[in-house]
Amino acid sequence: MTNEGQHTKTRSFTVILYKEDEMYIAECPEVGTVDQGETMEEAINGLKEATRLYLEEFPLPESSPKFFTTIEVSKALSYHESLARRQSRYWNA
């Protein structure tokens, strides 16, 4: 329990981490919080604190388990790419 007599609960959130210029950016899409740091660890620690403070003011409802997967999306060939492939097949036949 905390000093105020409240129970605490730990929840897991997604972190999107990327480098922009010389800084690392950490985002939590479920909550909408963002922080940055000179290192990945600094950005993640700042995001943890920002998310904790946000959730103190705006608690999220209980959520159901989330499942993650990836998808593949094919990029349509441009006219020039398509033409180049056809010409390549013609000349190599």
Tens-binned pLDDT, residue by residue, of the chain (93 aa): 445 556 677 888 999 999 999 999 999 998 999 999 999 999 999 999 999 999 999 998 877 677 778 778 777 767 777 777 777 777 776
Instruction: Enumerate the domain spans of the chain.
Output: 1-66
Please enumerate, as own/partner, the contacts of 77-83 that have beta carbons within 8 Å and a separation of 24 or more: none
The sign one gets for the Cα dihedral 28, 31, 33, 37 is: negative
pLDDT for res 70? 78
Q: Helix or strand or coil: residue 46?
A: helix
Cβ 54 vs Cβ 46: under 8 Å? no
Class of domain 1-66 (CATH, top level): alpha beta
